[in-house]
A and B are shown apart, each in its own frame.
Chain A
Amino acid sequence: MSYKGQFRVWRGDSDGGSLEDFEVEVNEGEVVLDIIHRLQATQAPDLAVRWNCKAGKCGSCSAEVNGRPRLLCMTRMSLFDTDEVITVTPMRAFSIVRDLVTDVSYNYEKAREVQAFTPPKDLAPGEYRMQQVDVQRSQEFRKCIECFLCQDTCHVVRDHEENKLNFSGPRFLMRIAELEMHPLDTADRRDTAQDDHGLGYCNITKCCTEVCPENIKITDNALIPMKERVAGRRYDPVVWLGNKLFKRGK
């Protein structure tokens, strides 16, 4: 069942680097991260890669395999032909730290700018009542493991470093949508989504949805509804007022 696989792995740091060729043993059932670990143990002990859980739960091992943003621990070798050369490169939208490790601080900065959950003042802990159907929408977005693959893919920032200033990316626009749809959140997040987080940059190409390892329907379920709410607020004062009153009434 084992065979020798051909790999090209990007190695280098912020000063530059290049693809290096490796021939590595591949066994049945393995994932790309197994191969990277075998490289570390046998040929390249200082090869840098981020990982934690090796079970698709923590979102640490994001990189690009043959140009596609993926989790290394969930990419099975059986996806590829045995004679195929497999190229592993770091996420392109973020600057390089070393080898497959990139600087993802952009994401943490954006996370910090999203106004936190704003609970109702009159409810004590233990008094929260919410229906399953109402929490379900936000729960879908809370499946996010913060792998940042959607951020890496989105063309708004992938090759446009300058847009990072004004665009929080699909992950954090979705976070705003999550709070907006939280049954008990009391803040109105529509203006800030548009003005501070750059919702308007998104032209619903759905590339983010395609790479999400959690299969979250980022575009259809978070971004488009959020755009509709913003549109409602901006152009339809009646809807806006209604929403406002409705939220308060809760």
Chain B
Amino acid sequence: MTEVERHNFDVIVIGAGGAGLRAAIEARERGLSTAVICKSLFGKAHTVMAEGGCAASMGNANPNDSWQVHYRDTMRGGKFLNNWRMAELHAKEAPDRVWELETYGALFDRTEDGRISQRNFGGHTYPRLAHVGDRTGLELIRTMQQKIVSLQQEDKAEFGDYEAKLKVFHECAITELLKDDSGAISGAFGYWRESGRFVLFETGAIVMATGGIGKSFQVTSNSWEYTGDGHALALRTGASLINMEFVQFHPTGMVWPPSVKGILVTEGVRGDGGVLKNSEGERFMFRYVPDVFKGQYAETEEEADRWYTDPDNNRRTPDLLPRDEVARAINTEVKEGRGSPHGGVYLDIASRMPAEEIKRRLPSMYHQFKELADVDITAEPMEVGPTCHYVMGGIEVEPDTGESTVPGLFAAGECSGGMHGSNRLGGNSLSDLLVFGRRAGMGAATYVESLERRPVVLQSDIDGAARSALSPYEPAKSEGSRENPYTLHFELQQTMNELVGIIRTGEEIEQALGRLAEIRARVRNVVVEGHRQFNPGWHLALDLRNMMVVSESVAKAALLRTESRGGHTRDDYPMLDADWRNKLLVCRASGEDSVVPDVTVEPKDQVPMRQDLLELFELSELEKYYTEAELTTHPATEGDRA
């Protein structure tokens, strides 16, 4: 029998990024005992890296903004594959969630009249992103971290213990979710990174808020935490994943020097006036406005430049098209020989505004290029290229509550799916974290309150989880079979980057699946050295299993979807296909292996958009995305008939 440290909470939240912290605050404010568990130190989750801002239609910079405009932008950005209910809740609730942060102590940049300043970003009609320079994610994390401290101070005053109701377990990694015999969530099993010792959390509900999967790709803006743990754990527990074929490649990552390749250059650079140029000095984005966006973007450089100061009478620059469009354009420019020396294109802000202003508006970018690349962005252009940035796909959830298909398992933030459809707009993630973090916290609380009795953890499950976690310490089965986790990780990343990356073909994806199958067989033979105390080799060995499952989900779904849409571009099917618009690809675990299960993918139709929401769009726009049969209820169609 495995000895484990045991804890018991009403709700546990796995992940301490924006979504996890917001969920935890909500569950605790509902009076439930709540734990937050995270792999890295408290306050260091990936959300700290977010730069540009948090989208909310507060209308501070342009009073014409409203939730309806935000909703439309979000659906367009996702090419109408988004879960419309999530997009609706998101657009409606984001302003309240941002204002709430001010009551926790957040200090956003201000407008002249003292309100929260908002900046332009790709795909957003109006300046909409609340921001703090280019370190908005840090502000979000710190603010909620400090709110948690504040709640703990209240608990200390009331119960004499800071941790009476809300406790953070940091540097603690969950490797297994546990269910009782009725199939409801009963707990989570994991290990302390520091000591390697096991720990069990018994609970009624789990909120999954583990972020993304970028570490399965070689060139990425994501941190080491992004190994898709939440996606994999949920899948293995019986939940379904949707939209896994949609992976966002951010158009502007650093390309040089090699050691920083992939690090993000915020879209705020373009939002604030920076423009993309090829090696011939041409502002090439004017050539890449796709049909669906024709008429919505400036057609000349003069108009684009006027737009920054007079947005009501000019159309925005195509430098600010949604990310998938810009990333593909850069890819094409480089391929056709108009790239920069290190295989990117130029992003020029230096010639567009005074040095002092650049330093004031984009301090971290200035710092980042100066320190890491010896480039002074106030004097010379940056070299940038696409980098794996965000996964639209994730755990399939109920929009209003965040509940997955497994009773007691909730999800929010990047590890959940649906909200962003086939492509996320910049700034819509931070707002997503707040809106759906809160909703998942509420959903979990309501669920736990309704339970008649607490599900029980089975000892056999604990033993199994422990055995599985320790298997990399078992000696190699034979001399030649011993695998190094670092090598396998590298091969996995290479496979995904090259064969299931920004531009895909059926043939290459099949090749990738072949290689993944081979890597999967070798994952079983990973052997790690040393002891269990803070052993990164062991940690990677465990994370590798999750990356494996997630990569297979991405590749299998990508193979099935024979069209190009948002973050999924098939060279062999280059067009948007209206028949695919309403189809979700649903991934589920199957097969014998419970640790690295097989993944099966099945198509499923979405619920049609509610009539009042559908009517927010012009028929002529919907016709670019929808089949004719789907649009018979639109009033304009009915008008035609009448």
Contact = CB atoms under 8 A, between A and B. Distances in A.
B283 interface: no
B40 A29 contact: no
Interface string B222-238: 01110000000000000
A130 interface: yes
A108 interface: yes
A48 B110 contact: no
A201 interface: no
Contacts of A104: 41
A53 interface: yes
Interface in A155-172: none
Contact of A57 (B42, B138, B147, B152): B138
B259 A60 contact: no
B286 interface: no
Given A97-B194, A116-B105, A40 B536 contact: yes
Interface stretch (A135-143, A204-212, A222-230, A233-241): A135-143
B48 interface: yes
Interface residues of A, number: 58
Interface string A48-82: 11111111111110000000000000101000000
B224 A146 contact: no
Contacts of A250: none
Size category of the B interface is 35 or more
B496 interface: no
B41 A132 contact: no
Given A45-B536, A116-B150, A52 B40 contact: yes
A112 B162 contact: yes
Interface in B30-61: 40-44, 46, 48-49
A122 interface: no
Contact of B258 (A29, A108, A117, A135): A29
B364 A74 contact: no
Given A125-B100, A129-B113, A129-B114, A45 B484 contact: yes
Contact of A53 (B103, B149, B223): B223
Contacts of A130: 107, 110, 114
A146 B107 contact: no
Nearest to A144: B142
Interface string B519-543: 0000000001111011111100000
A202 interface: no
B371 A146 contact: no
Nearest to B484: A45
B103 A41 contact: no
A196 interface: no
A189 to B, nearest CB: 13
Interface in B93-125: 95-96, 99-100, 102-105, 107, 109-110, 113-115, 117
A101 interface: yes
Given A56-B368, A57-B49, A76-B371, A46 B102 contact: no
A142 to B, nearest CB: 6
Contacts of A111: 149
A53 B48 contact: yes
B448 interface: no
Contacts of A48: 533-536
Majority-rule SS of A interface residues: loop
Contacts of A49: 536
A18 interface: no
Contacts of A58: 40, 44, 48-49, 223
Contacts of B43: 146
Given A97-B194, A145-B48, A46 B529 contact: yes
Interface in B609-624: none
B110 A117 contact: no
B292 interface: no
Interface in A96-136: 97-99, 101, 104, 108, 111-112, 114-117, 119, 125-126, 128-132, 135
B529 A135 contact: no
Contact of B530 (A45, A59, A135): A45
Nearest to B371: A74
Nearest to B105: A117
Given A112-B152, A126-B99, A142 B132 contact: yes
B41 A60 contact: yes
B529 A76 contact: no
Interface in B482-509: 484-487, 490
B225 A52 contact: yes
A197 interface: no
A182 interface: yes
A9 interface: no
B533 to A, nearest CB: 5
Interface string B378-412: 00000000000000000000000000000000000
Nearest to B96: A125
B302 to A, nearest CB: 31
A58 B536 CA distance: 19
A45 to B, nearest CB: 4
A142 B139 CA distance: 7
A31 B107 contact: no
B373 interface: yes
B246 interface: no
B146 interface: yes
B27 interface: no
B146 A117 contact: yes
A32 B263 CA distance: 16
A57 B48 contact: yes
B110 A131 contact: yes
| 3 nearest A-B residue pairs (beta carbon) | A29-B257, A46-B530, A117-B105
9 contacts: A13-B533, A27-B258, A41-B487, A55-B368, A116-B149, A130-B114, A139-B109, A142-B132, A144-B142
Given A52-B46, A125-B99, 7 more contacts: A45-B485, A55-B49, A57-B49, A58-B49, A60-B44, A108-B42, A129-B113
Interface of B: 40-44, 46, 48-49, 95-96, 99-100, 102-105, 107, 109-110, 113-115, 117, 132-133, 135, 138-139, 142, 146-147, 149-150, 152-153, 162, 194, 223-225, 256-260, 263-264, 364, 367-368, 371-373, 484-487, 490, 528-531, 533-538
